[in-house]
C-alpha cells in the first residue's frame, strides 16, 4: 500500500515563536505523526504486508520509505525518530529541523 500526505503545520499559537524553535517543533510533530500513522495503518488494515510512505512539505519530499510489517513487529518502542530510522524511513535533519530529501527514492519499491 502506498500512502502520501502533506505534513501538518504547527499550531497557530506557536507561529509567533522564534523561527528555529518553530522548525524544531514542526520536526518533532512531524516525526510523531508519521510514527503514529504507520502504526495505525498497519493496525487498521491488517492484510497489508508493506507500506510505502511519502510525506511532503511545501511540495517537497520530507520523509519516505518502505515499511514492512515484519520490521514493525520487532521494533523496540523508542523515540519516533529512532523508530522511523529503524523502520527504514528516510529523512534528513540538521540542528533539530527536517530538511527536504535531496534525492527522493524508496528502497525496494518498484
The DSSP bridge pattern shows strands 2-6 and 90-94 to be: unpaired
What are the residue ranges spanned by the domains of the chain?
2-99
Would you state the pLDDT for residue 102? 85
Contact residues for 82 (Cβ-Cβ < 8 A; gap 6+): none
> What integer best gives the mean pLDDT of the chain?
91
On whether the CB atoms of residues 27 and 12 are closer than 8 A, the answer is: no
Would you state the pLDDT for residue 105? 57
How much is the average pLDDT of 42-66?
96
pTM tops 0.85, yes or no: yes
Amino acid at each position: 500500500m502506498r500512502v502520501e500526505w502533506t505534513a501538518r503545520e504547527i499550531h497557530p499559537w506557536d507561529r509567533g515563536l522564534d523561527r528555529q524553535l518553530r522548525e524544531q517543533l514542526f520536526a518533532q510533530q512531524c516525526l510523531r505523526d508519521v510514527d503514529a500513522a504507520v502504526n495505525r495503518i498497519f493496525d487498521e488494515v491488517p492484510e497489508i504486508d508493506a507500506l510505502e510512505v511519502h510525506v511532503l512539505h511545501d511540495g517537497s519530499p520530507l520523509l519516505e520509505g518502505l515499511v514492512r510489517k515484519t520490521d514493525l513487529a520487532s521494533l523496540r518502542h523508542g523515540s519516533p525518530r529512532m523508530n522511523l530510522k529503524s523502520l527504514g524511513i528516510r529523512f534528513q535533519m540538521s540542528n533539530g529541523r527536517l530538511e527536504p530529501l535531496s534525492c527522493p527514492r524508496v528502497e525496494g519499491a518498484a
